[in-house]
Structure 1
Amino acid sequence: MSFSDRSSGRRRTAHAARTALGASALALTLLTTAACGPDNSSADTAVTAGAGAAPNIGLPANLEDLKKWKFDDWEKWAKDYALPAAAKGFWTLDKLLKAKPNEPLPPPPAPPAAPAQPTQAPAQPAQPPAQPARPTQAPAQPAQPSQAPAQPAQPAQPADNGNDPLPKTVNAQPLPHPYTKLAVHGKLFADAPGSGAEAAAGLSHYQCSATVVADPAHPGKSNLVWTAGHCIHQGKGGKYFSNISFIPAFNSNGALSGGKQAEEAQYAPLGIWNATQAVTSPQWKAEGGDGGSPATQYDFAIIKVQPGEGGKSLEETVGGAVPVWFNAPREQLSITEYGYPAAPPFDGMELNRCESGRPTRLSYDPTRPPMHAIGCTMTGGSSGGGWLAVKDGKPALVSNVSVGQHTGDPKFQAGPYLDDVAAGAYDFISKKG
């Protein structure tokens, strides 16, 4: 089920090209020569963006090399991680209510059906043909080699291309107010890049979901928020969104529920936190876009917000932060998704949850880690929402909403498998300032 008719209307002209990316997309679009890191001068000019687009992106062609990047490698590559903060008071209630749901990306197309088998076996001949006369003596057999020649090694590919049967539909359930114990979850607002009539009319506002995550470099004082890459960056040839702000425990007391009006202190009881830094995956930044593609398998992002008054951190304000579980064993996961779905039949005012259980696999490119797929009826606006599983008796973040199929049956969503690339981005933004 395609979701190319997204309400944003952004970058439709590049849709066909983006969806055509294949298993070798990273190597073809990122580098003309292999390199071990972004300090290679030829790599720095590998991707040529259009006028006014993000800086050129220099990356290794080999995914395993990318997983080995250290802080210095990430710093040389992520040259545009610093963002201008939204002006104080920018996100008025009117803008928040007009913000359009940022839609999850479309899933891969279903594989073609197997050819029909004949319903009846072909007729057998009435009598077997005559057997040729056998020689009185068997011909001499050629000498057999003492050992069979070695066979060339075949590349390992999953027979199912990294895909399991789709998960069963799980209905989203609204959480009871107030969200006192769930304040790590909230809504993310941002303005899409661009100009023209839509921007001039104030129609560039978008909404997603996000989760406060722990900061290893600042234990107990995290200002980090996890979301989807497509919630903060346009992808290939594009830019970061602007005026990125996070509202933890949005509408915790139900002040805006049922079409009511309220003051900021009521619907944002823990404040509005403006992003000043952001990082997404190299794959999303170089390949991503509106159409589903292998870049979706790395559709994640981390933002860092300004501390609050007196330097108080986001974690201290909301009362906690969720650790991130990288390379989590799939067979150990029982996933619960949180988010603020805003496309019908939802209105974006309520925090919802899908207790979806063990994920299945979903893949655009079998050479990359398959995504987690879970049954869930959440719609646009849930993009970026945190997926939690229990590790050592406590909740940990294992993915975020990226892909969604919200019509037909089953209704499901998928999120990236957080491997060493995600861990490298997380370590970079944690240590950066």
Structure 2
Amino acid sequence: MHRGRKWWTVVLGTSAGVVAAGAGTVWLSSGDGAEKRVVDTSASVRISAADSNEAARYWTAKRMAAAKPVGRAEAPGGAARTQAAAQAVPRSTAFHGIPTLGALFFNNGSGDHYCTASVVHSYSKKLLITAAHCIHGGRGAGYVSKVAFVPKYEKGKRPYGTWTAKMLLVDQRWASKSDPDLDFGFIGLNPLKGKTIEAAVGYNMLGVNQGVGKYVNVTGYPRIAYDKRDQPIYCRAKTARQSKYQVRMDCSGFYGGTSGSPWLLKYNGKTHTGYINGVIGGYQGGGNTHWRSFSPYFDNDVNVLRSAADKRA
């Protein structure tokens, strides 16, 4: 559990545009069938049907193509030392994407932007996971607006349609302090044509307390603004400990826009699914070079937050 705490303070979401504190708990499954009630730390915001409909209309193909990436090194280049380091690590590969992965579009008050998000399994069957900094600005800031998710986005194509958000949720310690160890968040999606996102594209399981030194497939969207191929990338790399609550992996090509990219443990090449064991974010906002990426370590805090998101989705 994060920082060794056994229980948590409570912040619960309320109506659209408002985040308020209040008492509440969520049930947390241990994985062996047992459950316990824990106090959650979530801060959430609900999005009205009118705002969701406006987001669906807002995101035209032209606006998606013009959206700017969030975080990371936003363009190739840099010092010779950085280039030498990039050449010494594995290189990412462009591919056609997978249904459970998509581009996440939003407006953060300074313009239209995008990150990466993926479908994570939940009882509600409606949840995405991404970096907290993609959906909430952290200390002194608030939530983004006009949120839309496009699974398997490639070259402007939307094979599974455009999905709008009903709820955004981060940990209150991210919202109030920009704690990099809690730079992960969840999005509850509205149904589309009568289906949940899981029914439409499938899902990945959540991996918690899996340690480090393991191979993960990391996939994300750095290519919308900078590369005419306009495709996602993937890389298979080994994780390593950066600090007590931060993990890293080395692979080149993860420029801006890859914030929120899932780290898929035990990836199955036939089903194109795995266990989400991290997301690009955390230390240095996920990394200040394209060849080294970071993620908060996924311990029980992420499980508690997913349970709180499921409750509100």
TM-score (norm. length: structure 2): 0.76
Report whether the alignment pairs 1:83 with 2:47.
yes
Q: Secondary structure of the equivalent of 2:58?
A: coil
Question: Matches of 1:173 and 1:209 in 2, distance apart?
Answer: 16
Report whether the alignment pairs 1:400 with 2:279.
yes
Question: Matches of 1:188 and 1:392 in 2, distance apart?
Answer: 24
* 1:322 aligned to which of 201, 204, 219: 204
Q: Percent identity?
A: 22
Report whether the alignment pairs 1:208 with 2:115.
yes
Report whether the alignment pairs 1:73 with 2:39.
yes
* 1:92 aligned to which of 44, 55, 60: 60
Contact 1:71 1:424 in 2 (8 A): no
Change in 2 beyond 3 A, CA 1:284/1:419: same
Per-residue deviation, residues 388-432 of structure 1 (Å, max 9, x unmatched): 01189962110111112336xxx2111111111111000111122
2:33 alignment partner in structure 1: none
Question: Matches of 1:274 and 1:379 in 2, distance apart?
Answer: 25
* 2:233 aligned to which of 347, 352, 355: 352
Change in 2 beyond 3 A, CA 1:170/1:305: same
Contact 1:281 1:301 in 2 (8 A): yes
| Structure 1 position 344, deviation (Å) | 7.3
Per-residue deviation, residues 374-399 of structure 1 (Å, max 9, x unmatched): 33321001111111011899621101
1:263 alignment partner in structure 2: none
Report whether the alignment pairs 1:286 with 2:176.
yes
* 1:421 aligned to which of 301, 304, 307: 301
Report whether the alignment pairs 1:236 with 2:236.
no
Indicate the structure with greater strand content.
2
Structure 1: where are the runs of 5+ without partners?
A: 1-25, 27-33, 45-52, 60-69, 107-165, 199-203, 257-266, 289-294
Higher radius of gyration, 1 or 2: 1
Contact 1:170 1:377 in 2 (8 A): no
Residue correspondence of structure 1 range 268-307 to structure 2 within 5 A: 268-288=158-178, 295-307=179-191
| Structure 1 position 309, deviation (Å) | 1.3
Residue correspondence of structure 1 range 178-217 to structure 2 within 5 A: 179=97, 182-193=98-109, 204-215=111-122, 217=123
Question: Matches of 1:167 and 1:421 in 2, distance apart?
Answer: 35
Change in 2 beyond 3 A, CA 1:105/1:282: farther
Change in 2 beyond 3 A, CA 1:371/1:285: farther
Question: Matches of 1:37 and 1:189 in 2, distance apart?
Answer: 31
Contact 2:73 2:255 in 1 (8 A): no
| Structure 1 position 58, deviation (Å) | 8.5
2:256 alignment partner in structure 1: 380
Amino acid at match of 2:150: I
Q: RMSD in angstroms over aligned alpha carbons?
A: 3.3
Q: Show structure 1 runs of 4+ deviating over 4 A.
A: 34-37, 53-59, 391-394
TM-score (norm. length: structure 1): 0.56
Contact 1:337 1:386 in 2 (8 A): yes
2:26 alignment partner in structure 1: none
Question: Matches of 1:392 and 1:377 in 2, distance apart?
Answer: 23
Amino acid at match of 1:191: N
Contact 1:102 1:208 in 2 (8 A): yes
Question: Matches of 2:37 and 2:175 in 1, distance apart?
Answer: 18
Structure 2: where are the runs of 5+ without partners?
A: 24-35, 75-85
2:220 alignment partner in structure 1: 339
* 1:169 aligned to which of 82, 86, 89: 89
Per-residue deviation, residues 63-89 of structure 1 (Å, max 9, x unmatched): xxxxxxx77733xx5454312325132
Amino acid at match of 1:170: P
Contact 2:20 2:43 in 1 (8 A): no
Number of matched pairs: 273
| Structure 1 position 343, deviation (Å) | 7.5
| Structure 1 position 296, deviation (Å) | 1.8
2:148 alignment partner in structure 1: 245
Amino acid at match of 1:212: V
Q: Secondary structure of the equivalent of 1:405?
A: coil
